[in-house]
């Protein structure tokens, strides 16, 4: 790509971008794509994931997912997002939320969640990634001046390309669609914190969040970690325990659902 074309793309990105302040944290982030464009990419990537996945038809688990999703999305205060929650039939112990509110949970994670509050903790974490615009931050860091905002949406329509794999990775999806790549350590910790806040605000027992990491840590030997290979399950458990006193007043003021439905037989 010639110098002047690169310069033109860079100028376009700067003109269309801004320093974004997140209302949940008060932190500012420099993101080179608009939130609308980010949501469009998320919707396209979501459809690709669903087209290559088998959806679960378990009515009981789907009912819980829809209920939890509704409460967490309301707690996130993003009514402008086009929220959608799907349960994917797969042994993978994963979940994700793409920009714009497209959420998927893999059935393989259900036993580790153990109950409805456990699902709320994971959904809260994933929704926080979207509301905090972690994908936009990663796209900015990964793409730099190599791709213009105007061509990003077209890249996902390609059958396969290096650019497409780059965008999917930045959105939190690996080259093998449906496999989560870890966000940065800072992003994961931030999503844990805000996700706990969403969970408490939605009326779910926040003490259930660190218990998930305790259960997952017991299964981690030789296997992948949930949502991210770092920070460790033990460190996340400890940090969440430290944060619980901060969110308890929020939980106590909410219409409490406690633990909710138990997934174990």
Q: Please give the Cα distance from 180 to 172 (Å, whole number).
A: 6
Tell which residue, 196, 214, 211, has the closest CA to residue 254. 196
Q: Please give the Cα distance from 182 to 49 (Å, whole number).
A: 17
Q: Are 164 and 242 in contact (CB under 8 A)?
A: no
Q: Please give the Cα distance from 88 to 11 (Å, whole number).
A: 41
Point out the catalytic residue in the list 38, 116, 126, 188: 126
Produce one character per residue of 221-260: b if its CB has 16 or more CB atoms within 10 Å, e if not.
eeeebbbbeebebeebbebbbebbeebeebbeebeebeeb
193 included as an active-site residue: no
* Residue 174 CA to its chain's centroid (Å): 14
Which positions are catalytic? 126
């Amino acid at each position: 790509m010639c110098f002047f074309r690169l310069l033109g793309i860079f100028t376009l990105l700067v003109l269309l971008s801004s320093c974004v302040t997140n209302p949940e944290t008060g932190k500012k982030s420099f993101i080179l794509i608009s939130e609308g464009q980010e949501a469009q990419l998320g919707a396209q990537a979501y459809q690709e994931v669903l087209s290559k996945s088998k959806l679960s038809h378990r009515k009981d688990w789907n009912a819980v997912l829809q209920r939890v999703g509704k409460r967490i999305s309301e707690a996130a205060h993003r009514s402008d997002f086009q929220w959608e929650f799907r349960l994917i039939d797969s042994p993978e112990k994963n979940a994700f939320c793409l920009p714009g509110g497209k959420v998927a949970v893999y059935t393989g994670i259900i036993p580790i969640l153990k109950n409805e509050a456990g699902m709320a903790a994971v959904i809260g974490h994933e929704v926080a990634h979207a509301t905090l615009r972690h994908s936009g931050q990663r796209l900015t860091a990964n793409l730099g001046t190599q791709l213009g905002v105007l061509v990003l949406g077209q890249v996902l329509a390609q059958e396969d390309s290096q650019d497409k794999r780059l965008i999917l990775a930045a959105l939190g999806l690996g080259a093998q669609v449906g496999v989560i790549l870890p966000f940065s350590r800072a992003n994961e910790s931030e999503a844990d914190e805000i996700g706990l806040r969403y969970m408490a605000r939605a009326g779910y027992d926040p003490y259930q969040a660190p218990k998930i990491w305790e259960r997952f840590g017991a299964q981690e030997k030789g296997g992948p970690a949930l949502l991210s290979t770092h920070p460790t399950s033990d460190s996340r458990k400890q940090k969440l325990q430290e944060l619980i006193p901060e969110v308890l007043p929020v939980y106590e003021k909410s219409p409490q659902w406690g633990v909710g439905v138990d997934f174990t037989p």
